[in-house]
């Protein structure tokens, strides 16, 4: 299981990090325009949670 998470994190984290920053810039643009940005927050929360989980899990296991 540890190897699966490590391999998944190795390939997915760069893609998810880009997605996170695109989502973050979208949220910032919506805040500046005064639009509703709350619908984007859960995606950003999930992305950052996965990246933090995978980095801590991989660093603790190896």
Enumerate the domain spans of the chain.
2-61
Of 3, 17, 1, the closest CA to residue 51 belongs to 17
**8 neighbors 54 (Cβ within 8 angstroms):** yes
| C-alpha pair distances (Å), 19 with each of 2, 8, 14, 38, 60 | 24, 16, 9, 17, 25
How many CB atoms within 10 Å of residue 27? 18
Structure confidence by residue, pLDDT tens digits, 24-37: 999 999 999 999 98
- The answer, as to whether pTM is greater than 0.85, is no
**13 neighbors 49 (Cβ within 8 angstroms):** no
pLDDT category at 53 given cuts 50, 70, 90 is: confident
pLDDT category at 62 given cuts 50, 70, 90 is: low
pLDDT category at 58 given cuts 50, 70, 90 is: low
**51 neighbors 24 (Cβ within 8 angstroms):** no
């Amino acid at each position: 299981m540890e190897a699966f998470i490590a391999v998944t994190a190795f390939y997915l984290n760069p893609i998810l990090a880009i997605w996170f920053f695109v989502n973050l810039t979208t949220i910032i643009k919506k805040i500046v325009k005064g639009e509703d940005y709350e619908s984007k927050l859960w995606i950003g929360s999930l992305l950052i949670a996965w990246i933090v989980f995978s980095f801590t899990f991989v660093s603790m296991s190896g």
